[in-house]
Amino acid sequence: MAKLRVGLLFGGRSVEHDVSIVSATSILSALDRSRYEVSLIGVDQEGRWHLTSADRALPEVLAAPSVMLPAVPGATTLRALEPTRAGASPSEPSAAAAQLDVVFPIIHGRGGEDGTLQGLLELAELPYVGSGVLSSAIQMDKDIAKRLLAGAGLPVTPWITFSGGRLDRDGLSAAAERAESEVGLPAFVKPANSGSSVGISRADTMAELVAALGLARRYDRKVIVEAAVDAREIEVAVLGNDEPEASIPGEIRASKSFYDYEAKYHDASTQLLIPADLDPDETETIRSLAIAAYRALEAEGMARVDFLFERSTRRFFVNELNSLPGFTNVSMYPKLWEASGLPYPRLLDRLIELALERHDRRSKLETHPPAATKPIGSGSGAS
Ligand SMILES: Nc1ncnc2c1ncn2[C@@H]1O[C@H](COP(=O)(O)OP(=O)(O)OP(=O)(O)O)[C@@H](O)[C@H]1O
Ligand SMILES: [Mg+2]
């Protein structure tokens, strides 16, 4: 059987650029080479794309000549990618680009998991791993995600959203007072669209709340304030399209007061506890909540569903869904599947299968009106 040509897309302009390289390196070494022929596509910090069909160390890919994205986003294949640098060999990058069966995007944060990249891949008519445009965008937006989760009857922490320049109009102090009266203190203040805890802070006093709003506003025009919960952090990995499955739950034990950027990527004392220490009923509850949350946000392929488990009440709150979770071999998502009986290389196979399945199902949908239907306005009589 011919090998499937997989494009591994990594890097990106977000603060998670380096994490993406580590994730992609793990994926590259675990992909079964008897089944897949891998092309590497690296996006550098300036947003330039670099492409090679050869197996190179990933940081080297980023040093290769860059290629241009299609100037017109209506181009139907990534074949439109051409080298920008005079003298660069045009054949290698464009040949690699033209021959992909499926893309595995592992770019975290803005421009990678917010639906924009997914939109580009849709236009290119390429199957890709993970959620589609709409769900990716929803999972990235903490305000919209909470509205949909709450609407589906799922437990989320009480929150208030400041959108559309309201912070600028009303001023930070007025916003802080409003937030304090609606959700109280202590509170967590977050840019609606962010990742890796950037721009997020905890406020215990009014002065801190004002400062936290100012900080979050620098990262997004839309900011949310939510009630702080004294909680353990439990995560569940979900995998699938129409019939998603949930892994066993795992727990994050950060030594710092909250699981911030430092704790996530630089603090070796952050521990993963798999399985999480929950009783059997709680384990079943969290797994079904994870699947319900996945469905509520119309996720496909995969997502990591993160919960806050309140210590005093032993209640779960859905904190957020991550459409492209960390994928290093010590990351929670693949670890949870490994502990649930699905080893890392098989997980990759499954994700690729799900991507192809989704693309295939979509390509079978009608795109034209039924032949018998007359276009609007073409009928007889008054119009
Ligand atoms: N309401 C809350 N109560 C208590 N702790 C919270 C709350 N919200 C967030 N935290 C803490 O802050 C951390 C970061 O918040 P959150 O997960 O919402 O942000 P994020 O930057 O989008 O994370 P990710 O990188 O996983 O997408 C959480 O892991 C948790 O430790
Ligand atoms: Mg988080």
CATH number of 316's domain: 3.30.470.20
Whether this prediction's pTM lies above 0.75 is answered by: yes
Q: Which atom of ligand 1 is nearest to the CA of 254?
A: 31
Domain span at residue 85 reads 4-128
The answer on 182 and 121 residing in a single domain is no
How remote is the CA of residue 364 from the centroid of ligand 2, in Å? 36
Q: Name the residue of 189, 201, 308 to mutate for ligand 1: max ligand atoms within 8 A of Cβ.
A: 308
Contact status, residue 26 vs residue 20, Cβ threshold 8 Å: no
Cβ < 6 Å from ligand 1: which residues? 157, 188, 190, 194-197, 200, 226, 228-229, 231, 233, 258-259, 306, 308, 319-320, 322
The answer on 356 and 243 residing in a single domain is yes
Residue 122 lies in a domain: yes
Residue 142 lies in a domain: no
CATH code for the domain of 178: 3.30.1490.20
User: Looking at the CA of 140, which ligand is closest?
Assistant: 1
The answer on 237 and 202 residing in a single domain is no
The answer on 66 and 98 residing in a single domain is yes
Based on the structure, what is the number of domains in the chain? 3
Which residue minimizes the CA distance to atom 8 of ligand 1?
188
**Average of per-residue pLDDT across 241-270:** 80
Final residue in a domain of this structure, among 190, 212, 227:
227
- Write the burial class of residue 242 (CB in 10 Å: 0-12 exposed, 13-18 middle, 19+ buried): exposed
SS3 250: strand
Residue 152 lies in a domain: no
Contact status, residue 103 vs residue 127, Cβ threshold 8 Å: yes
Q: What is the pLDDT of residues 367-381, one digit of tens each?
A: 888 876 666 665 554
Final residue in a domain of this structure, among 128, 150, 170:
128
Confidence band of 258 (pLDDT split at 50, 70, 90): low
- Write the burial class of residue 372 (CB in 10 Å: 0-12 exposed, 13-18 middle, 19+ buried): exposed
**Average of per-residue pLDDT across 315-322:** 98
Which among 99-103, 219-223, 290-294, 324-328 has the top mean pLDDT?
290-294
The answer on 237 and 306 residing in a single domain is yes
Handedness of CA 53, 55, 56, 57 (dihedral sign): positive
Confidence band of 51 (pLDDT split at 50, 70, 90): confident
Confidence band of 279 (pLDDT split at 50, 70, 90): very high
Final residue in a domain of this structure, among 183, 200, 227:
227
Residue 370 lies in a domain: no
The answer on 267 and 208 residing in a single domain is no
Q: Which 8-state DSSP code applies to residue 23? A: H
The answer on 213 and 101 residing in a single domain is no
The answer on 178 and 75 residing in a single domain is no
Rounded-to-integer distance, Cα 192 and Cα 226, Å: 11
The answer on 309 and 324 residing in a single domain is yes
Which residue minimizes the CA distance to atom 9 of ligand 1?
188
**Average of per-residue pLDDT across 178-191:** 98
Q: What is the pLDDT of residues 78-95, one digit of tens each?
A: 443 333 333 344 444 444
CATH code for the domain of 111: 3.40.50.20
The Cα diameter of the chain in Å comes to: 76
Share of the chain above pLDDT 90, in %: 66
Contact status, residue 75 vs residue 55, Cβ threshold 8 Å: no
How remote is the CA of residue 197 from the centroid of ligand 1, in Å? 6
Q: What is the pLDDT of residues 190-233, one digit of tens each?
A: 999 976 778 999 999 999 999 999 999 999 999 999 999 999 99
Cα dihedral 284/290/292/293 (nearest 10):
160
Rounded-to-integer distance, Cα 109 and Cα 18, Å: 12
Q: Which of 153-157, 166-170, 339-343 has the lowest mean pLDDT?
A: 166-170
Confidence band of 50 (pLDDT split at 50, 70, 90): confident
How remote is the CA of residue 226 from the centroid of ligand 2, in Å? 14
Q: Which pLDDT does position 357 carry in this prediction?
A: 98
Residue 269 lies in a domain: yes
The answer on 342 and 239 residing in a single domain is yes
> Is the pLDDT score of 66 beyond 80?
no
Between the alpha carbon of residue 89 and those of residues 42, 65, 70, the distances in Å are 17, 9, 18
* Long-range CB contacts (within 8 A, 24+) of 162-166: 162/213, 162/222, 162/223, 162/224, 162/225, 163/192, 163/221, 163/222, 164/221, 164/222, 165/221
| Nearest in space to 256 (alpha carbons), one of 272, 273, 269 | 269
Residue 376 lies in a domain: no
The answer on 84 and 121 residing in a single domain is yes
Residue 25 lies in a domain: yes
Confidence band of 73 (pLDDT split at 50, 70, 90): very low
| Nearest in space to 222 (alpha carbons), one of 232, 213, 233 | 213
**Average of per-residue pLDDT across 322-326:** 95
What is the residue-averaged pLDDT of the chain? 87
The answer on 188 and 93 residing in a single domain is no
Residue 148 lies in a domain: no
Q: Which atom of ligand 1 is nearest to the CA of 322?
A: 27
Q: How many residues does the chain have?
A: 383
